Chain A
Amino acid sequence: MKEIAYQDIVDEVARICQEANYDLGEDVVNAFKESVRTEKSEAGKSILNQLIENADIATSNRVPMCQDTGVSVFIVKLGQDCHIAGGSLQEAINEGVKKGYDEGYLRYSIVDDPINRRNTGDNTPAVIHIELVEGDGLEVQMSAKGGGAENMSAMKMLTPSAGMEGVKKFILDTVREAGPNACPPLVIGIGIGGNFEVSPYLAKKSLFRPVGERHEDPEIAGLEEELMTEVNKLGIGPQGMGGSTTALDIKVETAPCHIAALPVAVNLNCHASRHKHFVM
C-alpha cells in the first residue's frame, strides 16, 4: 500500500491549473504552425499567427492565454493500492484548484447553482472523474475547459439504422452550427456508443489525448482522418472568418452499446486546448 500526502496533491493540482492556463502544449502550438502552412485563407493564416503570438505572450508573462480559464475538469486514475493520507482526494483536488486559481490570477467562472447563479469565488467545485485502476499509482489529468465551446457541444441518441452516415452527419451539423462561436480551429472529441451518460464522457476523455496523435485502433484512426477531411471542407476556418482549418484535430472513442442504440456525443474544444497532468 502506497501513501500519498494530501498536501502534495493540493500543491501539484495548483501547479498544473496554472501551467494549463499559461503554457499551451507543444502539441497544440505545433498544430498551429502546421496549419499556417496549409491554411488556404490569408486572413486565416494571420489569425493562426496571432494564436501563436498569444501563446508566446502567455508563457513569457505568466498570464492566462484566454480570459476564460474554464471549468477545471479532472480525470484521475487511482490505483487501488494507493492511500491518500490526511483528507479525501476530492477535497485535495478542490483545494488545489482554489489555490491555483487564486495565486495564479485566474478567473473564477463557476456559479454555485444554475438557478440563482452566484459565483463561488474560487472556481470550485471542479468536475472530477475517478477511475479505479490496478496498482498503487495516482495519475491526475486536468483540463481547463472553456464555456464557449462547451456550449456548442451536443449529444444525440441515434438508433442503429442511422449507421455511420448518421453519425457523420450529426458531427458535421454540430460543427457547422457552432461555427465561430466555439472558437475554431477546434479540437473535436467524439464519443460513439455507450449509453446516455457514457458517450459524452468518452468524447470529453478523448480530448485529453495529444493533438496530432491518431487512435491505436486502425479503424478508428481511419474514421478520425476521414472526419478531419470532411470538417475542414466546411469552410468555417480560424475564428469562423473562412478557411480550411476548422479543426486542428478530431479524436474518436467508442464503447459497447445496447442493440437498440447508437449514442453519439460531440464535445468541442476551442483552440486553447489546455491539458496538463502529473503522476505520483
Chain B
Amino acid sequence: MSIRLKVPFERGAVEKLRSGEQVLLTGTLYTARDAAHKRMVEQLEKGGTLPVALEGQVIYYVGPTPNKPDSVIGSAGPTTSSRMDAYAPRLMEEGLKGMIGKGYRNEEVIASIKKHSAVYMAAIGGTGALLAQKIISSEVIAYEDLGTEAIRKLEVEDFPCIVINDSHGNDWYKEAHKQFEESPNQ
C-alpha cells in the first residue's frame, strides 16, 4: 500500500508522487522549524550561504524533545507547517525538494511546490513517540544555540508520510474534506 522511497529523492521520483499517496522514506532528512528558517532566509538575504546545501533535500519541520541517554532522539513528530510558509518558497529556490510537517500550506507555497517540482508531505501530528522509532540517527549540524530549533541531520528508515501537495498542484486536504463533508441539515 505504501510507496518506499529514498531521500534525498532520486531523479524523477517527486514528479511521480500524487496527493493522498502514503510513502515510507528512508535516508536523510534535515530538521528546521521557525527560528532556523528565519535565520536561513536572513543569511540568504545578506548574500550569505546556507549551513546545509539544500539542493534535492527534504526538510522535516520538527523540534524534538531531548533524547534520553539510551536513545538517539526524543519524541519527534511534525509541527504546523504554515508557520514556515513565509520562508519555504525562498528555500525551494535554493533547490529544496521536499517538506514534511502537518497542516495547510498557503497559495504561494503551493504555487512554488508546482513551479519547482517539489512535494509537501504530512506526518501524523502528535505521534512523536512512534515516529522517533523510525529515526536511527540524529546529529546537530547548525545553529546549535537554537536548542530544539537547531538544524539536525536525521537518518530515517521507513518514515511514514502522506503526500498532501504534489508537484502537479493537487491538495489532499481539500479532496479528503470534500469526500467526507455532510450537509449541516442532515
Contacts and interface: CB of A to CB of B under 8 A. Distances in A.
A241 B186 contact: no
Contacts, number: 166
B161 to A, nearest CB: 11
B8 to A, nearest CB: 24
B30 interface: no
A61 B65 CA distance: 14
A106 B65 contact: yes
Contacts of B176: 41, 43, 235, 237, 240-243
Contacts of B110: none
A236 B174 CA distance: 9
B173 A105 contact: no
A244 to B, nearest CB: 6
Interface stretch (B10-18, B47-55, B129-137): B129-137
Interface stretch (B70-78, B87-95, B111-119): B70-78
Size bracket, chain B contacts: 35 or more
A239 interface: yes
A107 B148 contact: yes
Interface residues of A, number: 50
A119 interface: yes
A90 interface: no
A67 B65 contact: yes
Given A108-B147, A239-B102, A51 B75 contact: no
A185 to B, nearest CB: 10
B14 to A, nearest CB: 21
Looking at B67, B76, B148, the one whose CB has the most chain A CB atoms below 10 A away is: B148
Across the A-B interface, give the 6 residue pairs with the lowest CB-CB distance, nearest first.
Answer: A242-B176, A235-B181, A181-B103, A235-B180, A233-B182, A183-B125
